[in-house]
Amino acid sequence: MTNSTTGFSVRPATLEDVPLIAKDLLKEGIEDFNRAGMNPVLCMALDTLDSKTFLLISPDNKPAALFGVYDDGCIWMNMTYEIRKHPKSFIIWAREFVKTLGPMLWNRVDIQNNNLRKFLRLIGFKVINVVLCDTKNIYYVEFAKVNYDPK
């Protein structure tokens, strides 16, 4: 288990972690899944099986987020209300941890999820495009982060 000075810790995730996150998923996350017509539990289970996945444990020793990264750098995260108890520590932790996940990270976020877009900006991601992705007229913001190590 990886510990940090922020009080958060990380361990590899398993399928058993999916219900822990799903039962306390942020409202905004549930709304994103609903707008896209996806089942949150099934999506998290698939991501957990198909990507390098982690469980974030809060300073209160409770599940805070399930997140991962695919081989191509596609990053994803599903957060619980535990994150809102420690917002500054979470941002400090995330800003450092994403540097360890690969040379380039990317994905897209529902344009209506303002809190997630703000969080991504705070941890160093940049908006690269806004796209209409499906027949439901949902716009997504594409974002990316390059982790450059000059060593």
For the residues of 10-39, what is the DSSP string, one character each?
A: EEE--GGGHHHHHTTB-HHHHHHHHHHT--
Quote the pLDDT of residue 147: 87
Quote the pLDDT of residue 136: 75
With vertex at residue 141, the alpha carbon angle to CA 139 and CA 147, rounded to the nearest 5 degrees, is 160
Quote the pLDDT of residue 133: 79
Quote the pLDDT of residue 150: 64
State residue 70 phi and psi, 5-degree precision.
-85, 165
Structural domains in the chain, sorted by start: 2-104 (3.40.630)
Cα dist from 129 to 63, 108, 117, 140, 144, whole Å: 32, 9, 13, 8, 10
Q: How far apart are CA 124 and CA 122, in angstroms?
A: 6
- Read off the pTM: 0.89
Instruction: Count Cβ atoms within 10 A of the Cβ of residue 1 and give its class: 0-12 exposed, 13-18 middle, 19 or more buried.
Output: exposed
* Tens-digit pLDDT string for the chain (151 aa): 555 567 999 999 999 999 999 999 999 999 989 988 899 999 999 999 999 999 999 999 999 999 999 999 999 999 999 999 999 999 999 999 999 999 999 999 999 999 999 999 999 999 999 999 767 788 999 999 998 766 6
Is residue 65 within 8 Å of residue 78, measured between CB atoms?
Answer: yes
Quote the pLDDT of residue 2: 53
User: Given strand 63-69, what is the order of strands in its sheet?
Assistant: 2-3, 9-12, 52-57, 63-69, 75-79
Quote the pLDDT of residue 4: 56
